[in-house]
Amino acid sequence: MSILANKDTRAVIIGGVAGVNAAKRMAQFDFLVNRPLTVQAFVYPPEAGQQKEIFRGGELKNVTVYDSLAPALEEHPEINTALIYLGASRAAQAAKEALESPNIQLVSMITEGVPEKDAKRLKKLAQKHGKMLNGPSSIGIMSAGECRLGVIGGEFKNLKLCNLYRPGSFGVLTKSGGLSNEAMWLCAQNGNGITSAVAIGGDAYPGTDFVTYLEMFEQDPDTKAVVMIGEVGGSLEEEAAEWLAAQPRRIKLIAAIGGTCQEVLPQGMKFGHAGAKEGKKGAGSARSKMNALRDAGAYVPDTFGGLSKEIKKVYEELIAAGDIKPEAEIDEAVLPELPPRVQEVMKQGEVVVEPLIRTTISDDRGEEPRYAGYAASELCSKGYGIEDVISLLWNKKLPTREESEIIKRIIMISADHGPAVSGAFGSIIAACAGIDMPQAVSAGMTMIGPRFGGAVTNAGKYFKMAVNDYPNDIPGFLAWMKKNVGPVPGIGHRVKSLKNPDQRVKYLVSYIKNETSLHTPCLDYALEVEKVTTAKKDNLILNVDGTIGCILMDLDYPVHSLNGFFVLARTIGMIGHWIDQNNQNSRLIRLYDYLINYAVKPEQPVPDKK
Amino acid sequence: MAKILEGPAMKLFNKWGIPVPNYVVIMDPDRLAQLGEANKWLRESKLVVKAHEAIGGRFKLGLVKIGLNLEEAIEASRQMIGAKIGTAEVGQVIVAEMLEHDAEFYVSIIGNRDGAELLISKHGGVDIEDNWDSVRRIQIPLDENPTIEQLTELALNAGFEGEIAERVGKICSRLILCFDNEDAQSIEINPLVIRKSDMRFAALDAVMNVDWDARFRHADWDFKPVSEIGRPFTEAEQQIMDIDSRIKGSVKFVEVPGGEVALLTAGGGASVFYADAVVARGGTIANYAEYSGDPADWAVEALTETICRLPNIKHIIVGGAIANFTDVKATFSGIINGFRESKSKGYLEGVKIWVRRGGPNEAQGLAAIRKLQEEGFDIHVYDRSMPMTDIVDMALKS
């Protein structure tokens, strides 16, 4: 048996993330004692309509968030308890609504800093409706083996250590949340565990006092003794003493009172709890509370350290008197374990999971990203540049200085080609339409294809093939291309020709030839091809795509990476165009009619729809 | 609980129609001269000058001067402003009219569980202690304020007569309105004085506590609560309070000069038992501290460093109960960093550290802090199997 919370308790949690976290902890307890989920609904207007995922052991439950209490209670008529997890400015109103809802019998508030006037009003309201109000500032209520309300009891392991999976014989009453857990632990170690534990909160005016709960414990036959942890301030402990002395009581009372240190400390010194404040002339002092309780027949150790001994003593007396029959200890091995998360099981090597993706280039699981094994900051500190990072991520190799200088030049040369080309123009149109940078740049990016900038890969691929399959046989290669592919990628330009060469190509070829020691079979082959094609037609020159493609093949880059150089380089230009248009606050572009040939049918009437 | 200074209390009284003497709060004595030119009462009344600070025993410290004319008041202000009392410095003074009066009364109102209680007596001022029997009381149930007739009746019972009883009833009624609407926890007016020639009343001195948790609904609370420990807060205390107001959970810190055992304890309940344990074993605490509600690690780190800087400490008690949801690993990582940082700055020389804690991730947290032994810390670490406050016994026996 228990008080306040039991197997039939079903709760709604009013509040946001803290409430959801509490619900998760509560579900762990539900799993441990094999009971249905305690939390049936959440009320939190900002997240109304969502479902919160709560694991009860390995079972995933979805709990609905409502925008107010009424619909939650309508859909869950079994709910009889409300837990308030809102901030102080809204908690009182929520508690009021809960107390006024007919089905709800118990309201427990974790909220700290509730104004005293609000707390007093709520208490009065609860009394008027015959409801229980626990808190504010309460960590919650625990009934061993039956029900957990709030995070009281801590983590799963602690629930077992404190024997909370099965009822014992001790009730626990505390103001403090942390000490409720400590007291449950002491009862498990020195006795047989608890029936129920209630943290009433450390505020000056708690919704329910010690005496009310003592009376409930007195009526609960399974509770044989109560451990009460009070502290300086207020008169709840003195009232408990009066209750104890008023008539013979079935339960024994063990009490520890905090705050004796106040006798030697500066007057008015503030303790952790709002209610821990001595009144005038020593009223409510720890010492006077201890004396009152001792006089009333309670077991009161001088210090907290003496509490274990008192509990043990009372437990042994109860056994000697036959009030408690020692039960065989449950073997903890039979208790369920929380199902571990996949990561934890994998760490222990007990499960195999097929990976969804595979990567061979980078890893950010350590303290910083590593590119092909090299730490980014170390690359920086040792003087490497962006061209080396490109090599690492695209080719998984750290290039030689000569190689990285070539890569750098390829990027520099391809970065932009003015506003008129498809890519830049696409980005400019988007920028002028007010489109954000990523989308505007991708508008330009979509232009990259077979006719614009996309020939690098194919040029590299076919010239490489030619080197292997048609060495010294350019006519054979051209014939094969004509039959199987069409025009040779990388050959030909709209405006440039032999007489009007592309300076970029000239520079790149001369740089490679004169200033590097790169072995260039592809480039050499392409230049030979150019001699043949320009003999046929003046503008069938080796263009910049072809040049770059060949150089990259000669640098041993993977064929798939080749277009990437153009994509990367042009991104720099497209971003520049987007910034430029935005800086100028350019207007929306619309084509003038005179730039369009309207080769459409003349106006005609729409026939009636048949 | 938040005690407020006389100035803000007077302002709230004025707002609710409770008679107060004329007063000004100043930080610059020259300003008082200027105010004297503008206000007749400053030139024509006897004045009282009081340090407007949370300093206990102001009278004995010479921080209250009475029966002054304007010139003398300016001179008194000049002496008080900037005066250093221990760690405190007087920054402002309140100058009020010393109303010539015929009688001193006592009125107070104190919140309790069911509402509040109003107390009145004909014998105010210094006489109230000796005449406590003369006090008449009325319980004011929550949201059921007594009528002026009931309050006049109370005044008559307390020995007030005729028109004075009626006026006292009316003042009480306004005091209740003030108490209720301003989320006050207690108000003590002593003395409430009367000058019979023109039937003028005034609350000459008042102590008021407001519920600081209710500040969210008081737009005109332009004051800050003052220290209730008989001295202003130290810089370190202010810093921790600032952090406390910014974080989830809480960190608290009060210095107790001269103590040898520093407390770095968790939980509003457990921390008090740790302080008790130190005192019960004949030790002296150097501070009271508490962190709870799973505060951020950096906040606990700041608290740790503050505690390490306490002068002449011999022990630090890193104690706590078995936490419900405060993550031991996370909060201990803040404590560990704080210890390391403090040691590197030369603190913790010869200081023994005693640890006992349980709660979420306790094994990892305790293992991590135990490692400080390898770094030369004199640290003793225990888990939940060590009774909570026994580390204090061990510290004081060592």
- Encode pLDDT of A120-158 as tens digits: 999 999 999 999 999 999 999 999 999 999 999 999 999
The stretch B16-29 carries a mean pLDDT of 95
The stretch B321-333 carries a mean pLDDT of 95
Given a cut of 80, whether residue A6 has pLDDT beyond it is: yes
Name the residue among B229, B324, B393 with its Cβ closest to that of A268. B229
pLDDT at A453: 81
Gap from A222 CA to chain B (nearest CA, Å): 25
Given a cut of 80, whether residue A329 has pLDDT beyond it is: no
* Higher pLDDT, residue B257 or A74: A74
What confidence tier does B157 reach under pLDDT thresholds 50, 70, 90? very high
What lies within 8 Å, CB to CB, of A110 at 6+ separation is A18, A22, A83, A84, A85, A135, A136, A137, A138, A139, A140, A150
Q: Which of B276, B331, B388 to mutate to test the interface with A (most CBs of A within 10 A)?
A: B276
pLDDT at B234: 87
Average pLDDT, chain B: 93
- Please tell me the pTM assigned to this model: 0.81
Given a cut of 80, whether residue A302 has pLDDT beyond it is: yes
Distance CA A285, CA A360 (A): 69
pLDDT digits (tens, 9 = 90+) for A455-504: 899 999 999 999 999 998 999 999 999 999 999 999 998 888 989 999 99
pLDDT digits (tens, 9 = 90+) for B67-94: 999 999 999 999 999 998 877 789 999 9
Distance CA A34, CA A343 (A): 25
Give strand pairing partners of A226: A171, A253
Given a cut of 70, whether residue B336 has pLDDT beyond it is: yes
| Per-window interface: B 108-127 vs A, CB < 8 A | 111, 113-115
pLDDT digits (tens, 9 = 90+) for B292-311: 999 999 999 999 999 999 99
Given a cut of 80, whether residue A269 has pLDDT beyond it is: no
pLDDT at A343: 84
ipTM for this model: 0.91
Gap from B213 CA to chain A (nearest CA, Å): 5
Beta carbons of A522 and A554 less than 8 angstroms apart: yes
The stretch A1-5 carries a mean pLDDT of 91
What lies within 8 Å, CB to CB, of A609 at 6+ separation is none
Q: Which residues of chain A neighbour B393 with C-beta distances below 8 Å?
A: 305
* A493 annotated active-site: no
The stretch A94-118 carries a mean pLDDT of 96
Q: Do B322 and A273 touch (CB under 8 A)?
A: no
A69: its two tokens: 């209490």
Is residue B267 less than 8 Å (CB to CB) from chain A? yes
pLDDT at A158: 95
What confidence tier does A428 reach under pLDDT thresholds 50, 70, 90? very high
Name the residue among B1, B269, B275 with its Cβ closest to that of A179. B269
Name the residue among A176, A264, A286 with its Cβ closest to that of B268. A176
- SS3 at position A106: strand
Beta carbons of A545 and A564 less than 8 angstroms apart: no
Minimum Cα–Cα distance from A125: chain B residue: B142
Beta carbons of A568 and A412 less than 8 angstroms apart: no
Q: Do A181 and B324 touch (CB under 8 A)?
A: yes
What confidence tier does A267 reach under pLDDT thresholds 50, 70, 90? low
pLDDT at A348: 82
Is residue B397 less than 8 Å (CB to CB) from chain A? no
What confidence tier does B251 reach under pLDDT thresholds 50, 70, 90? very high
Name the residue among B267, B279, B293 with its Cβ closest to that of A260. B279
Given a cut of 90, whether residue A454 has pLDDT beyond it is: no
pLDDT at A334: 84
User: Would residue B67 be called left, alpha or beta, if left means φ above 0 and alpha means ψ between -120 and 50 degrees?
Assistant: left
pLDDT at B361: 94
What percent of chain A is modeled with pLDDT above 70?
A: 97
pLDDT at A277: 64
Q: Which residues of chain A neighbour B143 with C-beta distances below 8 Å?
A: 121
Given a cut of 80, whether residue B230 has pLDDT beyond it is: no
Given a cut of 80, whether residue A265 has pLDDT beyond it is: no
What confidence tier does A562 reach under pLDDT thresholds 50, 70, 90? very high
Gap from B211 CA to chain A (nearest CA, Å): 7
pLDDT digits (tens, 9 = 90+) for A220-261: 999 999 999 999 988 999 999 999 999 999 999 999 999 998
pLDDT at A271: 64
- CB neighbour burial string for A191-229, b if at least 16 within 10 angstroms, e if fewer: bbbbbbbbbbbbbbbbbbbbbbbbebbbebebbbbbbbb
Is residue B288 less than 8 Å (CB to CB) from chain A? yes
What percent of chain A is modeled with pLDDT above 90?
A: 85
Q: Do A174 and B111 touch (CB under 8 A)?
A: no
Distance CA A148, CA A315 (A): 24
pLDDT at A272: 62
pLDDT at A451: 81
Distance CA A472, CA A468 (A): 10
Beta strand spans in B62-161 (E) = 64-68, 84-85, 88-89, 93-97, 103-112, 115-121, 136-141
Gap from A206 CA to chain B (nearest CA, Å): 9
pLDDT digits (tens, 9 = 90+) for B93-152: 999 999 889 999 999 999 999 999 999 999 998 888 888 999 999 999 999 999 999 999
pLDDT at A146: 97
